[in-house]
């Protein structure tokens, strides 16, 4: 039985598991901001819709320049992409046929796009899943022999935030290796551990960012990559790869600092509550800095039966069967609202107390 490789696909999941899908489903398998998109987007929609008739700017101006200003980098070091997924495809083409290291567990799209380009993948598995820690000797031995290394920070699926200084030491020590740091969830933090400020110092560093998670723009498709080699990635992108509407919406979102602060505060408060209550049930829980967390039931419970039990009650967790090193034993759950967590908690508690 092959389950969907990503969250936010509840109907496909129920079909794959041959289960009846309830009329009402709580989907905590995806990590889009529960507050939705900024109100400024809705307020400007009548103006935005006029952009449909014209061709967009080929390099997604003025969004590209605004990204450069926000992150204090040169505009030529920014390439705008049709979602972070398109950026990952372009990077894979840049590394075509090379040997690449992946810090695991991590986002499955890295391996998928790299395999499409004939890359040889070396998985470096965290020795401690909850803390997302690695054996430094094994890590450095592998980095001596690869062309690129992918690091997701905060990590998906654990939510662990790694230190900027730790990443910089690797980037500096292995100049032959291109480091791709995926910061799709970094805007859920205070950004202090972002490696974007290092781009000006290290030509072997790429930083991938997404507008999807914080700003709830999954349907718009907007992301960007920052790095000294950013212009090279444009060779692998189509003309007009970013729509005019996405361009304008991106600009509006970057202006709304209050929205980001409110989202971070609500997320942090509820996430702390979820961690505490899951641990009271005896679960292992990751120390997440993102808008999701990873948890594992006590050993006596069967994870497959638990997953099915919640699905039958209309609660969709993110399975981890396609995450290297997790193999379905852990579950990722998004931080949404107090009401949603209350319903999830009640069902998890009932299962733990009665099975």
122-150 average pLDDT score = 94
Same domain, 124 and 241: yes
Same domain, 87 and 189: yes
CATH value at residue 171: 3.40.640.10
Same domain, 247 and 324: no
For residues 120 and 256, what is the distance between their CA atoms, to the nearest angstrom? 41
Q: Look at residue 125 and tell me if it is in a domain.
A: yes
Going by pLDDT thresholds of 50, 70 and 90, the confidence category of residue 6 is: low
Encoded tokens for 248: 């304008």
pLDDT, tens digit, 9 for 90 and up, residues 224-255: 999 999 999 999 999 999 999 999 999 999 99
Same domain, 44 and 180: yes
Q: Look at residue 102 and tell me if it is in a domain.
A: yes
Same domain, 99 and 206: yes
Q: Look at residue 191 and tell me if it is in a domain.
A: yes
Residue where a domain stops, chosen among 255, 279, 305: 255
Q: Look at residue 2 and tell me if it is in a domain.
A: no
pLDDT, tens digit, 9 for 90 and up, residues 284-335: 999 999 999 999 999 999 999 999 999 999 999 999 998 999 989 999 999 9
Q: Look at residue 106 and tell me if it is in a domain.
A: yes
pLDDT at 51: 87
Q: Look at residue 3 and tell me if it is in a domain.
A: no
Q: Look at residue 14 and tell me if it is in a domain.
A: yes
CATH value at residue 14: 3.90.1150.10
pLDDT higher than 90, residue 20: yes
pLDDT at 7: 64
Extract long-range pairs of 270-273: CB within 8 Å, 24+ residues apart. Answer: 270/335, 270/336, 270/337, 270/338, 270/341, 271/335, 273/341
pLDDT at 11: 87
Same domain, 238 and 346: no
Same domain, 76 and 22: no
84-97 average pLDDT score = 97
Same domain, 102 and 217: yes
pLDDT at 327: 85
Q: Look at residue 5 and tell me if it is in a domain.
A: no
Decide: 122 and 102 in contact? Cβ < 8 Å.
yes
Q: How many distinct structural domains can be found in the chain?
A: 2
Tell if the pTM clears 0.85, that is, is over it: yes
pLDDT at 266: 97
pLDDT at 96: 98
Going by pLDDT thresholds of 50, 70 and 90, the confidence category of residue 4 is: low
Going by pLDDT thresholds of 50, 70 and 90, the confidence category of residue 1 is: low
* Residue 126 structural domain: 39-255
pLDDT at 2: 72
Residue where a domain stops, chosen among 233, 255, 277: 255
Encoded tokens for 49: 């819709």
pLDDT, tens digit, 9 for 90 and up, residues 179-229: 999 999 999 999 999 999 999 999 999 999 999 999 999 999 999 999 999
pLDDT, tens digit, 9 for 90 and up, residues 21-78: 999 999 999 999 999 999 999 999 999 988 899 899 999 999 999 999 999 999 999 9
pLDDT at 309: 97
Same domain, 211 and 99: yes
Residue where a domain stops, chosen among 191, 221, 255: 255
């Amino acid at each position: 039985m092959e389950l969907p490789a990503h969250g936010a696909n509840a109907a496909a999941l129920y079909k794959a598991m041959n289960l009846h899908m309830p009329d009402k489903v709580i989907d905590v398998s995806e990590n889009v901001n529960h507050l939705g998109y900024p109100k400024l987007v809705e307020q400007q929609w009548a103006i935005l819709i006029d952009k449909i008739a014209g061709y967009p700017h080929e390099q997604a101006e003025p969004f590209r320049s605004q990204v450069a200003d926000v992150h204090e980098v040169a505009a030529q070091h920014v390439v705008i992409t049709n979602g972070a997924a398109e950026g990952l495809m372009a990077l894979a083409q840049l590394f075509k046929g090379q040997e690449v290291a992946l810090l695991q567990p991590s986002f499955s799209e890295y391996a998928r796009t790299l395999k499409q380009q004939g890359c040889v993948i070396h998985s470096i598995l965290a020795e401690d899943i909850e803390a997302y820690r690695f054996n430094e000797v094994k890590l450095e031995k592998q980095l001596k022999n690869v062309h690129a290394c992918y690091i997701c920070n905060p990590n998906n699926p654990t939510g662990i935030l790694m230190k900027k200084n730790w990443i910089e030491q690797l980037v500096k020590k292995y100049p032959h290796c291109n480091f791709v740091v995926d910061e799709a969830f970094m805007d859920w933090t205070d950004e202090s551990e972002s490696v974007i400020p290092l781009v000006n110092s290290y030509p072997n560093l790429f930083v991938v960012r997404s507008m999807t998670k914080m700003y709830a723009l999954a349907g718009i498709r907007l992301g960007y990559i920052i790095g000294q080699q950013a212009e090279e990635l444009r060779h692998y992108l189509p003309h007009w790869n970013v729509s005019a509407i996405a361009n304008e919406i991106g600009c509006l979102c970057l202006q709304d600092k209050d929205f980001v602060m409110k989202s971070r505060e609500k997320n942090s408060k509820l996430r702390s509550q979820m961690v505490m209550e899951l641990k009271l049930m005896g679960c292992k829980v990751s120390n997440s800095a993102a808008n999701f967390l990873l948890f594992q039931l006590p050993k006596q419970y069967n994870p497959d039966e638990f997953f099915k039990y919640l699905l039958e009650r209309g609660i969709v967790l993110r399975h981890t069967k396609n995450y290297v090193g997790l193999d379905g034993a852990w579950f990722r759950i998004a931080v949404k609202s107090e009401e949603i967590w209350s319903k999830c908690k009640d069902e998890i508690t009932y299962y733990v107390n009665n099975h």
